[in-house]
Amino acid sequence: MGVPVQQKKVNVAAYCRVSTEAEEQQNSYQVQIEYYTNYINSNPEWTLAGIFADEGISGTQTKNRTEFNRMIRMCKKKKIDLVLCKSTSRFSRNTVDCLDHIRLLKSLGIGVIFEKENINTLTAQSEFILSLYSSFAQAESESISKNITLGNQMAFKEGKVRYNYKYLLGYKKGEDGKPVIIPEEAEVIQLIFKLYIDGGSTHTIAQELNNKKYPTRSKSGKWSAMLIKRILQNEKYIGDCLLQKTYTIDCISHKAVKNNGERPMYYVSDCHPAIIDKNTFNIVQQEIARRNAKRSVCTNTMTEQGRYNSKYSLTEVLVCGECGTAYRRCRWTSHNRNRTVWRCINRLEHGPKYCKSPTIDEEPLHNAIVRAINEFYNCSDDVAKVLKSATDTVLSGSNDDGIRQIEQRLKDIDQARNDFVNLIATGTCAPDSLDDEFARLYSEEEKLSQKLLSLKAQEDTEQNELADEIKADIDSSSFELHQYDDILVRKVVECVKILNKEEISVTFKGGYEIKSELLT
């Protein structure tokens, strides 16, 4: 009598996914897991190969669905014979993605049963029906995405700001739902702006913060030059927000790209407390632009100025008096003796045919600059005049555009009022018919007049504050400089020009110029 052969059980797995917390309880994450566990275990011909569940994950792409990908890997290893899923939309809302995975599993002899649609992918007609259902799921996802996009656009237009506190250093969500400053983190932000204004590069600032173990919210936990740059250019630190800097291409890839004008952007002012004042922020933006720009040189030169170098301030300000090209710091070694010199890049790279400028030793150059700075500080009356002039120049145009626009509109209102008076005088219109127009013009004129006074007062206040700040800085620095200081040079010197091998010209910020001898 033969012994009956025991039939091998089918290894069955189930896949569940819940994309939001808003779905009804019977479709929820936990309920699906319990349902499929009991359902598979209740069939004597099946054995449970695993319940694979992704919670809070979009169904339009599979690359971020950890459990889904783990299930596919197990299928490839022949550890799963059959997959159960509630519906095609739970499996994937991307038609192409859904069919690709179904075909892959089918080639491995593994079927997928979709309960809601009553589809078994191993049957002949399943792919056609499946493509229809998947298309419906994708269309639904695209419709939802479009509605969300329209909702976001409406929120942007109304100036509603959503904050990503996870990566926004310096702020946390307050009890009222609005941003609140974290003092310790705000100090780090202020330090970053100060170091940059003092001449530090994004690389050196990041290095200093890492060395001092300052906390960051980056994923790596480390400061980087890119992170420093993003902070320096982030308008949120002055209390403003620029909305829709990026946008999502489509609901399938979820790829976000930089908005270069393809979508409207919305600027919201004073929507939360500021960590950095606007004057400091504007100075930093100007400095970023200056460092990124190439300096124009005269027609004789073949070389433009290179990248910003924070290590030596002279790299930014030392130029050739003959061709206008920047000078470069070089090390000469002769007879086992090191010598540091500065040379015109144009002559260095292309020879004396293009420029006959001299090579200057660093020590005499430093000493000449020190003497020029001391002479500059000793000319206190002249310096004060230059500072006042520089302050007026810098700030005179800060609110000019807004003031000019308001003044022009006030002129337009006055002209419109005169036109209405003429219409009444000629009998073209009855006086009563223009009452509403006169009231509207009067209301607008009153508001604009108040705003104009406010802008002019703000401009005067900022100008006086900056002038006082600069003068106080000069007063506090009224000492005789005994040795060369890179930071001080970066703060006060605009340009150092090599006139010849015996003389330089130092131009200070504000336009004051002093000539100094190169003494050996």
Span 418-460, pLDDT tens digits: 776 666 666 666 666 666 676 777 777 778 877 777 777 766 6
Whether 133 maps to a domain, the answer reads yes
Quick one: 467 and 487 in the same domain?
no
The percent of residues in the chain predicted with pLDDT above 70, rounded, is 67
Mean pLDDT, residues 126-135: 58
Quick one: 258 and 283 in the same domain?
yes
Residue 337's pLDDT band (cuts 50, 70, 90): confident
94 closest CA partner among 144, 54, 148, 133: 133
Cβ-Cβ contacts under 8 Å for 353 (sequence gap 6 or more): none
Q: Is the pLDDT of residue 76 over 90?
A: yes
Angle at 511 between CA 505 and CA 517, to 5 degrees: 15
CB atoms within 10 A of CB 370: 19
Kindly state the tokens that stand for 416: 């419109």
Q: Evaluate whether 329 touches 342 at the Cβ level (below 8 Å).
A: yes
Top mean-pLDDT range of 57-61, 99-103, 462-466: 99-103
Mean pLDDT, residues 71-78: 93
Q: Is the pLDDT of residue 151 over 60?
A: no
Distance CA 297, CA 23 (A): 65
Q: By CB neighbour count within 10 A (0-12 exposed, 13-18 middle, 19+ buried), where does 211 fall?
A: exposed
Spell out a b/e string for 425-451, using b for 16 or more CB atoms within 10 Å of the CB, else e.
Answer: eeeeeeeeebeeeeeebeeebeebeee
Collapsed DSSP state (helix, strand, coil) of residue 172:
strand
* Stronger pLDDT, 383 or 374, i.e. the higher one: 374
Distance CA 253, CA 61 (A): 7
* Lowest-confidence segment of 130-144, 162-176, 270-284 by average pLDDT: 130-144
Whether 298 maps to a domain, the answer reads no
pLDDT at 471: 56
Quick one: 102 and 238 in the same domain?
no
Whether 309 maps to a domain, the answer reads no
* Stronger pLDDT, 514 or 60, i.e. the higher one: 514
Of the chain, the end-to-end C-alpha distance in Å amounts to: 116
Residue after which a domain boundary falls, among 229, 254, 288: 288
Residue after which a domain boundary falls, among 124, 153, 182: 153
Kindly state the tokens that stand for 86: 């509630």
Whether 306 maps to a domain, the answer reads no
Inter-CA distances, 256 with 235, 249, 252, 376, Å: 20, 6, 11, 53
* Average pLDDT along the chain: 76
Inter-CA distances, 334 with 340, 359, 366, Å: 11, 15, 22
Q: Evaluate whether 480 touches 337 at the Cβ level (below 8 Å).
A: no
Quick one: 229 and 275 in the same domain?
yes
Calculate Rg over the CA atoms of the chain: 35
17 DSSP β-pair partners: 54
Helices of type H across 29-94? 29-41, 66-76, 88-91
pLDDT at 461: 66
Mean pLDDT, residues 135-153: 54
pLDDT at 246: 64
Quick one: 401 and 366 in the same domain?
no
Whether 428 maps to a domain, the answer reads yes
302 DSSP β-pair partners: none
Angle at 219 between CA 213 and CA 223, to 5 degrees: 35
CATH code, domain with 220:
3.90.1750.20
pLDDT at 192: 94
Whether 164 maps to a domain, the answer reads no
Q: By CB neighbour count within 10 A (0-12 exposed, 13-18 middle, 19+ buried), where does 507 fall?
A: middle
Cβ-Cβ contacts under 8 Å for 170 (sequence gap 6 or more): 181, 182, 185, 186, 188, 189, 237, 275
Span 161-220, pLDDT tens digits: 777 788 889 999 888 888 899 999 999 999 999 998 888 888 989 999 999 999 888 878
Kindly state the tokens that stand for 61: 């792409």
Kindly state the tokens that stand for 60: 């339009």
Whether 1 maps to a domain, the answer reads no
CB atoms within 10 A of CB 481: 17
H/E element, 212 = none
Quick one: 30 and 127 in the same domain?
yes
Inter-CA distances, 18 with 25, 57, 68, 75, 86, Å: 11, 7, 12, 22, 11
pLDDT at 396: 52
Span 485-497, pLDDT tens digits: 887 888 888 899 9
Write out the residue range of the structural domain in which residue 417 sits.
397-476
Residue 150's pLDDT band (cuts 50, 70, 90): low
pLDDT at 4: 53
Quick one: 451 and 508 in the same domain?
no
Quick one: 464 and 485 in the same domain?
no
Quick one: 91 and 222 in the same domain?
no
pLDDT at 423: 65
Q: Is the pLDDT of residue 109 over 60?
A: yes
Quick one: 199 and 281 in the same domain?
yes
Quick one: 43 and 148 in the same domain?
yes
Quick one: 213 and 147 in the same domain?
no
pLDDT at 63: 65
pLDDT at 91: 80
Q: Is the pLDDT of residue 130 over 80?
A: no
Place of tokens 């890839």: 253
Distance CA 362, CA 342 (A): 6
Q: Quick check: pTM over 0.85? A: no
Q: How many domains does the chain have?
A: 4
Distance CA 88, CA 117 (A): 8
Whether 159 maps to a domain, the answer reads no
The percent of residues in the chain predicted with pLDDT above 90, rounded, is 22
Top mean-pLDDT range of 9-23, 105-119, 235-249: 105-119
Span 303-330, pLDDT tens digits: 445 555 556 778 878 999 888 888 988 8
Residue 406's pLDDT band (cuts 50, 70, 90): confident
Q: Is the pLDDT of residue 135 over 70?
A: no
Q: Evaluate whether 32 touches 116 at the Cβ level (below 8 Å).
A: no
Q: Is the pLDDT of residue 102 over 60?
A: yes
